[in-house]
Chains A and B, each alone.
Chain A
Amino acid sequence: MDPSRGRDDGAQQPGATGDRSTLTLHINGTEQTLTLDHRTTVLDALREDLGLTGAKKGCDHGQCGACTVIVDGRRANSCLLLAVAHDGARITTVEGLADGDRLHPVQEAFLDRDALQCGYCTPGQICSAVGMLGEAADGFPSHVTTRTAPVSAPAPLDAPEIRERMSGNLCRCGAYPRIVEAIEDVAP
């Protein structure tokens, strides 16, 4: 491991002006205290410091969605989140979706529909779909939601809605039709 990374006790708390801080992340229900260079993104902390390689580094610029995780209940691009700014955050990665041996319904649907080819984008697609279903349940509209749709009611999810809401996740194999079908299977 790079000696500048990882757990040690020599760093200052957030609020200091050094280059490193000690912070706590709640990852998949487990509290993790880390001392990290301020430049470390949540994605790099997950992959390099915590060994959770489910979230993938695709573009590293927020354009592909392969790094999508759920932060405090909302999906986000972990490649653009500085870990130090997320001290105390509750983060769910693809590794934390299953309930023991029972897969999350979105994971099951991706298997049932064979909604992947190479699989590199799949953890991001699945975390994004889980987050998106929560947003729709909370009444978040999308660009294709009709202007007359009731405000503050759960948003119905047909295929055009799913495609629009999942546009932050690219699949270079082009498995989109099956991805949309899998999410339709789970959508209310």
Chain B
Amino acid sequence: MKPFGYLRARSTAEAVRESSAHPGAGFLGGGTNLVDLMKLGVETPDLLIDISRLPLDQVGDTDNGGLRIGATVRNSDLAAHPAVRTRYPVLSQALLSGASGQLRNTATTGGNLLQRTRCPYFQDTSKPCNKREPGTGCPALEGAHRDLAVLGHSEHCVATHPSDMAVALSALDATVQLHGPDGERTVPATEFHRLPGDTPHRDTEIRAGELITEVVLPPRPDGAGSLYRKARDRASFAFALASVAAVLGVRDGRIEHAALAFGGLAHRPWRAYAAEEALRGAPATGETFERAVDAELAAARPLRDNAFKVGLARSLAVDALAELAADS
């Protein structure tokens, strides 16, 4: 690991100021991904600005019945929070389906959003990777890409975003609050992560010096239920091959509200707008669910070894919607 300086930020303003003054600096939250990537030589900050003790560790109601989640709230605390379990079960379930008990106790909300892909080429500095070193190429296109993207990828990058939490936040229409050198701004969770295009080194829309301070959930749509389903290579402690976050509201047999997002399929949580369009106003039946999910997955462009993900995602989504409809 490369030597680095360490600074414990006493305020958000100080953290942002120091980050802007040191272009090689990185923010340290729980460190579960960052420290690992530093050991691998993938991340090489020359200064760590520790933001883990800033007063950003609270979960609280917003004025309109939503929920405000501080950036340093630990994943395990968020998953166990009564408001999350009762009003946003999809978020609790997504968090609990990721990582291990130890990692969830350490990892933060902001850090979960900013974790990097687990593409094996990205994590191996002896290999080319356009995300790690722009312009060097993407060996995953022809190489070990069984776990990688089937939607929204480019000839430059086929990585997937590894977060489960972010998939739930996408389906919940959360917003991400950023504090930067030019002040504060809000980015919808659905637009926070990027598609790779020809700039795969940029995972998100975050700008230099910006710090995530909180994530805000809007009020739960009236009567809507939500859940998270995930398929992986072992029963626990593994990244998603495919996952789905679903929010569904049904009245008198018709779908009033539908939000669907896929994980493990793309460079960002894949909000399924085409499926939602097909769901809204339609009868809450298995036939509707299949037609809607197929409308979304028609855009899939599997690689040589990962076409199985499309069928897997289809089954997860159709089952999730059927379960929510049965509960409503």
Per-residue contact bits, chain A 47-67, to B (CB 8 Å; 1 contact, 0 not)? 000000000000011100100
Instruction: Let me know if A163 and B236 touch, CB within 8 A.
Output: yes
Interface residues of A, dominant DSSP? loop
With A81-B31, A82-B35, A147-B89 as contacts: A38 and B105 at CB distance below 8 Å: no
* Chain B: minimal CB distance from A4 (Å): 10
Assess the A143–B96 pair: CB atoms within 8 A. yes
Among B5-13, B184-192, B259-267, the stretch that binds chain A is B5-13
Interface centre among B4, B6, B7, B82 (most CB of A within 10 A): B6
Whole-angstrom distance from the CB of B122 to the nearest CB of chain A? 15
Contact mask for chain B residues 1-26; partner A; CB cutoff 8 A; 1 contact, 0 none: 10111111000000000000000000
Contact of B47 among A17, A84, A169 (CB under 8 A): A17
* In the complex, residue of chain A having the shortest beta-carbon distance to the beta carbon of B227: A147
A156 within 8 A of B: no
How many residues on chain A are close to B (CB under 8 Å)?
46
Tell me how far the C-beta of B76 lies from the nearest C-beta in chain A, rounded to whole angstroms: 6
Nearest A residue to B86 via CB reads: A151
Decide if A39 is an interface residue (CB 8 Å cutoff).
yes
Residue of B nearest to A72 (CB): B105
Contact A17 B7 (CB under 8 A): yes
A77 at the interface (CB under 8 A from B): yes
In the bound complex, residues from chain B placing their C-beta under 8 Å from that of A169 are 100
Does the CB pair A140–B79 fall under 8 Å?
A: yes
Offer 28 A-B interface pairs, CB within 8 angstroms, sorted by A. Answer: A16-B7, A17-B5, A18-B5, A38-B3, A38-B4, A39-B1, A39-B4, A60-B39, A65-B100, A65-B102, A75-B101, A75-B102, A75-B105, A76-B102, A77-B32, A82-B28, A82-B31, A131-B105, A132-B101, A135-B101, A138-B80, A140-B79, A141-B80, A143-B236, A151-B85, A166-B101, A167-B235, A168-B100
